[in-house]
């Protein structure tokens, strides 16, 4: 298991720069190498067909596809989730947050709770310069922070990469390592007990679920959403 995790981490680091460069050249497309490595696109730049609203069958009109990005456009848009569930995976995407804005990326979301964050841990998305939340972009909310801030300013595209496996999970921001952790470990449970999420019985329990793009009431854009399932 340790050898497998090490190989996954090495592969993720080696491909981060290539992915960043490919994203700049051809948004919302997969390279030949990515296809060969098992990557799938969650967004083709034209349709939100891979998503639906939380506990809904379709995507509300509060989310629009504009200039090759999924864009939050108005209050009440609702949280978006992937139609498919994912357990162990690598996810890459780009986000563009508005000035002072806030959003989030959640994983292992189930639809048993009233809200996605009742079950799914959240990777913070916000304008670190003018946002009001002490949890900064790229951190695992209330669990694992980063020692650096590699984000670009509001209005610019930031690249997030996440490796999620039972043995270890890792976050990168714009190619910079942010944090790693083992979901469900003793350290995780300790942090959970001290967090606001402790009151929700479903939180962090699922080992598979939807990926969620959060409606936090601010303009946010997402593009280059790609995922690779890890066996």
> 69-115 pLDDT, tens per residue?
999 999 999 999 999 999 999 999 999 999 999 999 999 999 999 99
pTM assigned to the model: 0.90
Task: Give the chain's domains with CATH numbers.
Answer: 2-229 (2.60.120.560)
Spell out a b/e string for 61-99, using b for 16 or more CB atoms within 10 Å of the CB, else e: ebbbbeeebbbbeeeebbbbbbeeebbbbbbbbbbbbbe
Q: To the nearest whole percent, how much of the chain has pLDDT over 90?
A: 88
pLDDT of amino acid 122: 98
What's the rounded mean pLDDT across residues 26-31? 93
pLDDT of amino acid 14: 46
> 143-181 pLDDT, tens per residue?
999 999 999 999 999 999 999 999 999 999 999 999 999
> In this predicted model, which residue has the larger pLDDT, 24 or 231?
231
What's the rounded mean pLDDT across residues 18-33? 72
Per-residue pLDDT band at 26 (split at 50, 70, 90): confident
Integer angstrom CA distances of residue 35 from 16, 40, 85, 185:
15, 7, 20, 33
pLDDT of amino acid 2: 56
């Amino acid at each position: 298991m340790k050898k497998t995790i090490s190989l996954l981490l090495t592969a993720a680091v080696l491909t981060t720069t290539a992915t960043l460069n490919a994203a700049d050249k051809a948004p919302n497309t997969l390279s030949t190498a990515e296809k060969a490595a098992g990557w799938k696109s969650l967004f083709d730049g034209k349709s939100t067909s891979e998503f639906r609203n939380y506990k809904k069958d379709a995507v509300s009109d509060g989310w629009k596809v504009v200039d090759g990005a999924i864009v939050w456009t108005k209050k009440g848009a609702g949280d978006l989730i992937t139609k498919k569930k994912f357990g162990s995976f690598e996810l890459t995407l780009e986000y563009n947050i508005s000035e002072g804005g806030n959003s989030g990326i959640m994983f292992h979301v189930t639809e048993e709770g009233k809200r996605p964050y009742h079950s799914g841990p959240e990777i913070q998305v916000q304008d670190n310069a003018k946002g009001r939340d002490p949890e900064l972009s790229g951190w695992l909310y209330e669990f694992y922070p980063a020692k650096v801030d590699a984000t670009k300013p509001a209005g610019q595209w930031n690249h997030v990469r996440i490796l999620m496996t039972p043995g270890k999970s890792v976050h990168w921001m714009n190619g910079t390592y942010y944090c790693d952790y083992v979901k469900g470990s003793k350290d995780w449970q300790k942090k959970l007990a001290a967090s606001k999420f402790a009151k929700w019985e479903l939180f962090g329990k699922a080992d598979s679920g939807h990926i969620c793009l959060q409606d936090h009431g601010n303009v946010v854009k997402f593009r280059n959403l790609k995922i690779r399932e890890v066996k």
